[in-house]
Structure 1
Amino acid sequence: MALQFDIAYAKLGHRHGIGVFNVPTDAVTSGFCDKTVSNITLSFYGGTFDLTLSFQMVDGGRFFHLSSVDLHYVEVPGIFPQTETPNAKRSASNVTLDMFRASSGKSYRCSEDRDFVLTTSVTLHTRLVHVQAFGVNKGQFSTAQDCGMRSSNNELVAVVTGGSLGGVIIIAIVTYFVCTRGRRTTRDGYTAIN
């Protein structure tokens, strides 16, 4: 997957800035996996940045999902220009996530660009995600469960709802014209008294 972070920070002169960085492909990885919890730590930029993604089995082992993101970083001036606190150690985490959900025995795949707000100052952008936290056999992903499955169902509901609403509006307009025309016809049959 491709990961990018946007982090709000304080700049000199009481201004605000956004530090933007990508997780590089040459990040050093470590982690562990057991039956219900799995995590991977990516260390990059000379060890000044560490990102831990923790996955968990849920619903009695029927699904897995990304449950927490923990980021430790240094406010290096190259990423955080004019920072008030150069080289200060920072951290951001969210332990209440429900991202990248897939059925047990499957992998999660999403080709769409997605944005996730992790904290008030940290946003995670993802692209081309394909993960499987449990049950990987011979280094190969299991059948993928695409993120578009949920959105296509939502789109179908939106189309059906929109079509139904359109039909109701057309019926209301036709009824209005029929009733209005009927009143005119009745009035036309009378003679005005002067």
Structure 2
Amino acid sequence: MEPRRTVAALFIACFALLGSTQAVSLEVKEGNTTCIRAELSASFSITYNTSSGTSMVDVSLPDSAAVDPAESSCGTNGSPSWLVAVFGSGHALQLTFASNGSVYSMANLSLQYNLSDSSLFPGSNSSDVVTVVSSSLGIWATLNTTYRCNSPVSFNVGGVTVTFRDMRLEAYMPGNDLSDTESICTADQAMTTAPPTTNSTTTTATTTAATTTAPAPTPPGTPDRGRYSVLNGTGTECLLAHMGLQLNVSYFSRPQNKTIQSLVNLNPKLVNSSGSCEATTALLTLTQEQSVVINFTFTLNASTSRYHLSAISLFANWPDMTRPLLTGNASLNYLQSTLGHSYMCNAERVLAVAPDFSLNTFSLQVQPFDVTSNQFGTAEECQVDRDQMLIPIIVGATLAGLVLIVLIAYLIGRKKSHAGYQTI
């Protein structure tokens, strides 16, 4: 009987595991029109306090999760929209989306969990309802495009690890069905296998082609400096950015049949800027001929009156790509400055974003908050610029010191030579 019980327990565990990873389908409707649809599996690793210490549980979004129509919204005139899924005893997952007219993104994610639910949090010494919130997660796509990510991707949201997998979603939908056009996440692109090996009759030719060295591309040089801004609802500039931008991107090139690293300058004459300004977040979106879209997210810490560049995401679709590249990072800490001031860095700076993408900036000055009279505030310079200013000062001071030492030595020597003579 004991082996049978063991086998039965294993079957039950397997079925429980399969059930916990099953994708849930959620949609937000306005009348008969669907504006947000999400098909995904989600799990949450939560640590909570017990009378004997701490405990951690893994909670999955169950099949019974349902959209709360009273709390969800499609938004109007490009305003944020959100999907609220409720489950269990007082638990909820909210996905908030924003759009700038060309792309949509998951602006933030919030999770509410009820510690008084003993079925999920056994032994909890609290009955609080806890809410954790995260800013932009780097999940975005162009409008009329489905965001797809089958690979598991985890985010830290207020101490809770949120993991999505088998995700297909779209916001600001023009129809009731997900678009056939898909933007594939970086994790899925990394899983793509290399092209199959050719048979023996073509091995020699393939080897020869592989060993042929292609001419090195000409470096693009220093990019032109663009002047970009974002307007608020009254038509006043609420974000200013003057900078030259150069993309350093790795992707699989179809003509070369290999992964290449490419430097591409952004051309300000071909770039349109857009975005939004909120109390503690600001978004700048730069779009170049629909082939490149870059999102910059700035976050303000109201308690310290300091802001920083917290997220960068990139969509690139060049003719030699096997598929569009969608990459980014929502946990950055660049371009720090004080509210009411601008951040300035004339020197070239490399912003590491993701394994396949870094951004080179030139002659940069940016201010995402508290812009007055469409002008930059007092500039806070980057460390590199300050160091470069110190070098001539140090050199000048050193030379002055050497001159002074030589002069003192000369005067002492002259005084000694006079002391050697006696008056007759």
**If the length of structure 1 is used for normalisation, what is the TM-score?**
0.69
Q: Deviations over 1:161-188 (max 9, x none)?
A: 7xxxxxxxxxxxxxxxxxxxxxxxxxxx
Q: How many angstroms does 1:28 deviate by?
A: 2.2
Q: Is the 8 A contact 1:11 1:83 kept in 2?
A: yes
The whole-number CA distance in structure 1 between the counterparts of 2:166 and 2:174 is: 19
Aligned match of 2:154: 115
Aligned match of 1:63: 103
What aligned pairs does 1:2-17 form with structure 2 within 5 A after superposition? Answer: 2-13=41-52, 15-17=53-55
Segments of 4+ in structure 1 off by > 2 A? 148-161
Aligned match of 2:122: 81
**If the length of structure 2 is used for normalisation, what is the TM-score?**
0.33
Aligned match of 1:50: 92
Between the aligned residues of both structures, percent identity stands at: 18
Moved more, 146-155 or 16-25: 146-155
RMSD: 2.5
The alignment status of 1:18 with 2:56, answered yes or no, reads yes
Q: Deviations over 1:69-108 (max 9, x none)?
A: 12222112222222222x32221112x2133210122110
Q: Find the residue that maps to 2:93 and give its secondary structure.
A: strand
Q: Which one-letter code corresponds to 2:91 in the other structure? A: F
Aligned match of 2:399: none
The whole-number CA distance in structure 2 between the counterparts of 1:155 and 1:80 is: 44
Aligned match of 2:298: none
**Structure 1 unmatched runs, 5+:** 162-194
What aligned pairs does 1:1-194 form with structure 2 within 5 A after superposition? Answer: 1-13=40-52, 15-29=53-67, 30=69, 31-34=72-75, 35-46=78-89, 48-57=90-99, 60-75=100-115, 76-85=117-126, 87-94=127-134, 96-119=135-158, 121-137=159-175, 139-142=176-179, 143-148=181-186, 151-152=189-190, 154=250, 156=252
Q: Find the residue that maps to 1:125 and give its secondary structure.
A: strand
The whole-number CA distance in structure 2 between the counterparts of 1:32 and 1:118 is: 22
**Structure 2 unmatched runs, 5+:** 1-39, 191-248, 262-424
